[in-house]
Amino acid sequence: MIENNYFSQKVSVFHGKRLPEKASVVGYAAIIDTLGLPVPMPHTIALISEKHKTYQTLEWKVFTPRHQPEETLYQQLVFALKYEGVNLLFFKKLFEKLPEKEIVALLKIEVTGQYTRKIWFIFEWLMQKQLPIPNLTVKNYIPLIENKLQYGLQNGIRSSRHRIINNLPGTINFCPLIRKTEKLENYIKQNIKEKKLKALKGYHKDLLQRTAAFLLLKDSKASFTIEGESPKSKRTARWGRIIGQAGTKKLTREELLRLQQEVIENTRFVKMGFRKQGGFVGEHNRTTGEPIPEHISAKWQDIPLLIEGLINTNSILVNSETDAILAATSIAFGFVFIHPFEDGNGRIHRYLIHHTLAEKQFTQQGLIFPVSASILDHIVDYRKTLEQYSNPVLDFIDWKETKDHNIEVVNETIDYYRYFDATAQAEFLYDCVNDTIENIIPQEITYLQKYDTFKNYLDEEFEMPDRMIALLVRFLEQNEGKISKRAKEKEFNALSKQEIDAIEKNYRLIF
């Protein structure tokens, strides 16, 4: 019997992590450890301290002795739901392990208790199976997602059987969850959308339109650079135009396939469309060719269901009061974790950020948010954010090498891609959006204003055509405000030394 297990043991080290003090591990982490569930440990692990002090760090949530749950599975689950929120992946793996009769017995401990009702609803929702338990007749309904702990829908669907309001921000086939953190709450309270509008107020429409064009190109170039590519200007401009259309077409399977065709121009060496083989991100052993995965993509057999779930969840989030950046996190990062294509996933992932923000009407006045430019500026943090999902999941994916040195996943893994914690990714994306508002967009506007001032000076003094002005500015930028000897002898040999000195002096004053 599961109930005979001893869950809470006082330790100083837990799964290779040193605790902030000697304490008992409780809640989800304790159950995962005791039952050996194939689930990554929670990002923040709950502890019971010997001291009467409650505090939280990035890795630990410390409670006082009065919070200690009883040494039963039920009470540990109650603690987890009460203080840690809903963990769908955990419950899926727990229900797969427990015999049905033990689950029914568990639910009879406190028949009408709110946590019993939550566990009961989660079982029947996840397993798509009804237990031999009669419908509840109590009057009150309780939300499944506790607003203090996680972000759920404001208006959920009522289940009269369980007297539960299903406010999960997703579907059975795709439902990431995001925990409420101080960082996210501070960003949401700032109302970044209004902050953006205030920042742009007062600028001339023509300047904003030009800024938008530059930012589209900047974001397109950055997205290719992140993938380690240096495409020709024509290709980046084309992808920039596509980014500019984000949100104008409904997200569908066909739209995703269209986007891949837009990303991959040369299809000779790429199998287009949704994958029909395994996939991973990583390296190959130089000697043997053996795969060394850093991220393992969803099984190709699971892609249709996962993409259907992602699209349906996108529709739910777009048509709800869900914060735009949280919605973009779930959809865009969920897509890149699934990795449904052989190539093009990264750029489409970043396109989906634009798409969701546009659908949620976060982006206005024709300005695209150059999130790829901000991501490129914070590329180390970006990789760490991706690894926070990928690394823990690798331990639970069994695979074998194929003849062509690809991988084939041999166990069931679909749940890792549809039920995950997207909190770290949400915090990162909010950082990037805030960075664009406070730094990237203002810097671009300021640059264009300075460029116009310098251009007017050159027009007045030298009647220089626009093409020559652009070339001159580029040379000055590349050579720390000086015109090179080669440029003086070739492109700008018509200028005297005095004129060159004056141009360089004005450039330094303006820029």
For residue 301, the 8-state DSSP code is: G
User: What is the pairing mode between strands 142-143 and 164-166?
Assistant: parallel
Average pLDDT over residues 46-50: 94
Output 116 or 365, whichever has higher pLDDT.
116
Cβ burial, residue 500 (10 Å; 0-12/13-18/19+): middle
CA atoms within 13 A on the CB side of 146: 14
Give the pLDDT confidence of 326-362 residue by residue, as tens digits. Answer: 999 999 999 999 999 999 999 999 999 999 999 998 8
Q: How confident is the model at residue 278 (pLDDT cuts 50, 70, 90)?
A: very high
Q: How confident is the model at residue 1 (pLDDT cuts 50, 70, 90)?
A: very low
Average pLDDT over residues 197-217: 77
Task: Give residue for tokens 């070739």.
Answer: 490
Q: Is 268's pLDDT higher than 80?
A: yes
Give the pLDDT confidence of 218-230 residue by residue, as tens digits. Answer: 888 888 888 887 7
Query: Helices (H) and strands (E) in the chain — how many of each?
Result: 21, 12
Q: Is 122's pLDDT higher than 70?
A: yes
Q: What tokens does 213 get? A: 């064009």
Q: Is 206's pLDDT higher than 90?
A: no
Q: Is 386's pLDDT higher than 50?
A: yes
**Radius of gyration from C-alpha coordinates of the chain:** 27
Share of the chain above pLDDT 90, in %: 77
Q: What tokens does 212 get? A: 């938008």
Give the pLDDT confidence of 389-428 residue by residue, as tens digits. Answer: 999 999 999 999 999 999 999 999 999 999 999 999 999 9
Share of the chain above pLDDT 70, in %: 97
What local confidence, expressed as pLDDT, does residue 230 receive? 75
What local confidence, expressed as pLDDT, does residue 353 receive? 94
Q: In degrees, to the nearest 5, what angle opens at C-alpha 487 toward C-alphas 486 and 489? A: 65
Q: Is 3's pLDDT higher than 60?
A: no
Q: Is 242's pLDDT higher than 60?
A: yes
Give the pLDDT confidence of 132-161 residue by residue, as tens digits. Answer: 999 999 989 999 999 999 999 999 999 999
Please tell me the distance from the alpha carbon of residue 217 to that of residue 213, in angstroms, as a whole number. Answer: 7
User: What is the pairing mode between strands 142-143 and 157-159?
Assistant: unpaired
Q: Chain-wide mean pLDDT for the chain?
A: 92
> Distance of alpha carbon 98 from its chain centroid, rounded?
32
Give the pLDDT confidence of 290-338 residue by residue, as tens digits. Answer: 999 999 999 999 999 999 999 999 999 999 999 999 999 999 999 999 9
Write down how long the chain is.
Answer: 511
Which residues are CB-contacts of 414 (< 8 A; sequence separation ≥ 6)? 298, 299, 302, 305, 306
What local confidence, expressed as pLDDT, does residue 81 receive? 98
3-state SS class at 487 = helix
What local confidence, expressed as pLDDT, does residue 266 receive? 79
Give the pLDDT confidence of 456-510 residue by residue, as tens digits. Answer: 999 999 989 999 999 999 999 999 999 999 989 999 999 999 999 999 999 999 9
Average pLDDT over residues 105-116: 95
From 165, 155, 98, 71, select the one nearest 125 (Cα to Cα). Answer: 165
Furthest C-alpha separation in the chain: 94
From 110, 19, 20, 101, select the one nearest 70 (Cα to Cα). Answer: 110
Q: Are 334 and 176 a contacting pair, CB within 8 Å?
A: yes
What local confidence, expressed as pLDDT, does residue 382 receive? 94
What local confidence, expressed as pLDDT, does residue 322 receive? 97
